[in-house]
Amino acid sequence: MPISAFLTDASLCIGCKACEVACKEWNELPDDGFSWSGHSYDNTRALGASTWRHVLFLEQKQSMGSQLAGINGPFRWQFLSDVCKHCANAGCLEACPTGSIVRTEVGSVFVQPDICNGCGYCVVSCPFGVIDKLPEDGRAFKCTFCYDRQKAGLIPACAKACPTESIQFGDLEVLRQRGKKRVQDLQERGYSDARIYDPQDTSVGGIHAFSVILGEPEAYNLPPAPEVPTAYLKSAWTSAFISAAIIFAIVCAAFAL
């Protein structure tokens, strides 16, 4: 099977949250409470165990492309639908001690709910802060990339529901090319800060749900240089072995004296 991917285009998103709703409907996810955040129109706030699509609402004091500034100065309202990145080197998958988190035949990262025992190690191993433990249930949950729908030949619910094709679903390489082309087009049209967010040059090695964004990734709470935590294992174990050797030598010395 080809490797599936999402291309989420911030320049096309209208902040309708149809993806959030479609995701909740299809995956039968519980609500996240009904409270106002005060952060523009975003009352979802972040991805989590019961929120697998999250639409961000950015209010920035700068022009959108070549738009003219209003009386209150330049302003742009930006939206982006965020989702699990399905990393090429996934921190959660590497960390999972039960083998519950697996790589599927479509290249996605999938949590098998019948195996997960809720140890919580994936939660601290995700460099994007996506996966979380659902307190009421005890297990960890995140976007399944609509694995069930993909198996039945359907496209993921969020992409299906998106009215502006801001969420595009398809083959990884095809979408990477389309993303590049889109960034080029946007830049030619005056959106000089358009870029693709796909950290391929870090230990994460690229993601399967990349996005076209305007401006710096930090503004979308996307880490600029995420690392898969297994990259830290070597130095941590080296320190552990050296320390253990020194401690053992101290114990020997104490009893020899």
Partner 1 sequence: MKTAAKPKMTEERLEEIRKAASEPTKEALATQESTRKPSAQGEQSYYGLPALKAPVWTWEVPLYFFLGGIAGLSACVAFVAQSFRSDPGLIRVSLWAALLGAAMCPVLLIADLGRPTRFLNMLRVFKLRSAMSLGAWILAAFSGCAFVALFCFELLLRGFTNPLLTSLLWLGLTSAAATGLLLASYTAVLVGATAIPVWSENRKLLPTHFLTSGLGCSAGILELAGFLIPATQILGFAASGIETVIEIFLEVRKRPVDAPLHHGRSGTTLRIAGLLEGPAALLLRVFWGSVPAGRYAAASCFLIGALLSRYAWIWAGRGSASDPNALFHLQRKA
Near partner 1 in 77-106, by CB under 8 A? 91, 94-100
Q: Tell me if 69 contacts partner 1 by CB under 8 A.
A: no
Regarding 41 and contact with partner 1 (CB under 8 A), the answer is: no
Q: Which stretch binds partner 1 (CB under 8 A): 20-28, 129-137, 146-154, 174-182?
A: 129-137
Check residue 75 for interaction with partner 1 (CB under 8 A): no
Token pair recorded at residue 102: 């697996």
Site string for partner 1, 149-188 (x = CB under 8 A): ----------------------------------------
DSSP 8-state assignment for residue 9: E
Near partner 1 in 189-218, by CB under 8 A: 215-216, 218
- Per-residue buried b or exposed e for 214-247, using 16+ beta carbons within 10 Å of the residue's own CB: bbebeebebeeebebbeeeeeeeeeeeeeeeeee
Q: According to CB under 8 A, which one of 7, 23, 109, 123 is a site residue for partner 1?
A: 123
CA dist 173 → 81, 106, 116, 190 (Å) = 21, 13, 31, 26
Which 3-state string (H, E, C) describes 177-225? HHHHHHHHHHHHCCCCCEEEECCCCCCCCCCCEEEEEECCHHHHCCCCC
Can you tell me which of 67, 77, 103, 124 binds partner 1, judged by CB under 8 A?
124
**Residue placing its CB nearer to partner 1 in the complex, 131 or 172:** 131
Q: How far is the CB of 195 from partner 1 (least distance, A)?
A: 13
Nearer to partner 1, 174 or 225 (CB): 225
For the chain, state the CA radius of gyration.
Answer: 21
Residue type, 59: E
Candidate residues 103, 115, 165, 200; the one interacting with partner 1 per rule CB under 8 A: 115
Q: Specify which residues 74 forms β-bridges with.
A: none
